[in-house]
């Protein structure tokens, strides 16, 4: 009986494992979680019992676990969160369609140039009148 090993068709989704079958990102996030979680456990253990301290440690460490493991559509949690914040908070809810016609832009530029020329002509005429008097 032959043993089959699943091979992904898209090789871009294959992640290189560094140690203990974990990626570099997972190792970094797990170590940061340990650095945050262990001191919180020992600090809280002095004020309440061990079960409560362990639950608080788990709650403190969970965001780093989510950062290390959660991935959807090739994007990690912080990317998805930034897209969500940008779509819901930063950008306006109603985005009206604004069309900038090339002809209208040329006409605005032409009118601006005419106005500038008129201002320059008026100032030159005022200078000439001043020089005559």
Question: Rounded mean pLDDT of 62-82?
Answer: 90
Tell which residue, 41, 81, 79, 77, has the closest CA to residue 59: 41
Whether the full predicted model's pTM is greater than 0.85, yes or no, is: no
Average pLDDT over residues 104-120: 95
Residue-wise pLDDT tens digits, 4-29: 777 777 766 667 777 777 888 899 99
Domain range list for the chain: 16-90, 101-133
How far apart are the C-alpha atoms of 78 and 76, rounded to whole Å? 6
pLDDT of residue 2: 65
Mean of all residue pLDDT scores within the chain: 88
């Amino acid at each position: 009986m032959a043993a089959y090993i699943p091979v992904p068709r898209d090789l871009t989704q294959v992640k290189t494992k560094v140690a203990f079958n974990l990626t570099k990102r997972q190792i970094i996030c797990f170590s940061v979680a340990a650095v945050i979680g262990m001191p919180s456990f020992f600090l809280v253990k002095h004020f309440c019992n061990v079960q409560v301290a362990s639950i608080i440690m788990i709650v403190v460490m969970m965001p780093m676990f989510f950062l290390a493991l959660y991935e959807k559509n090739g994007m990690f949690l912080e990317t998805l969160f930034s897209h969500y914040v940008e779509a819901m908070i930063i950008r306006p809810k109603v985005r009206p369609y604004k069309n900038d016609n090339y002809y209208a832009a040329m006409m605005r530029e032409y009118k601006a140039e005419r106005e500038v020329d008129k201002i320059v002509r008026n100032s030159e005429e005022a200078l000439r009148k001043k020089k005559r008097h």
